[in-house]
Amino acid sequence: ALANVFGLGRPALPEEIAAWDLDVSPDGTGLPAGSGSVEDGEMLFAEACSICHGDFAEGVDNWPKLAGGEGTLADKDPLKTVGSYWPYLSTAWDYVHRSMPFGDAQTLSADDTYAIVAYILYSNDLVEDNFVLSNENFLSVEMPNADGFILDDREQTEAHFWTDAPCMENCKDSVEITMRAMVLDVTPDEGDAAAEPAP
């Protein structure tokens, strides 16, 4: 690394770094010491989270569902939750700790966060009701979709989109309209316009 070239800025103090550097990586780096039980998590969740996410993390109205959806990822309408989709538990801890509850973020202690994450795991049937999550056993939890992700492979699987000479003439024999937005009629402020009959 080079020596400072402009000499601008000032050294960050340890307290400042500790206040802002809260991220937790998949290997557990960044997790503070602490623990929380499913039982405590259930209570905390009921107070701070259930109004949007439901008593059992099943979601209320349009708010995100945190539990359920196992085995649906290849379905027509997959249900992607912490249990069915998220590859790493670290993400759940990190995100809840820093950005939840919505509208009152950064109010949960480390122990609160362990407890709430333990309850989310329980809601997804991934741990028993007497489970206690801590920085010690954090990596022992297996996330069902941990192997469900591949690196961006567009340049291989979509290599045929790179083409020297795209068709310019006689590219299709016929063209038919197969779907129409006016039939669905969900565009805002079109409520007074009756959908037209299909052709």
Alpha-carbon gap, residue 131 to 36, rounded angstroms: 9
Q: Is 197 in the site for another protein (CB under 8 A)?
A: no
Q: Is 125 in the site for another protein (CB under 8 A)?
A: no
Q: Which residues are within 8 A (CB) of 143 and not within 5 positions of it... i.e. 6 or more apart?
A: 86, 87, 88, 89, 126
Q: Is 15 in the site for another protein (CB under 8 A)?
A: no
Binding segment (CB under 8 A) for another protein, from list 13-21, 33-41, 121-129, 130-138: 13-21
Residue 120 identity (one-letter amino acid): I
Which residues in 148-167 contact another protein (CB under 8 A)? 148-154, 157-158, 161-164, 166-167
Q: Is 179 in the site for another protein (CB under 8 A)?
A: yes
**Residue 111 contacts residue 57 (beta carbons within 8 Å):** no
CB of 130 to another protein, least distance (A): 28
Alpha-carbon gap, residue 78 to 92, rounded angstroms: 20
**Residue 111 contacts residue 183 (beta carbons within 8 Å):** no
Q: Is 11 in the site for another protein (CB under 8 A)?
A: yes
Task: Closer to another protein by CB, 128 or 162: give it.
Answer: 162
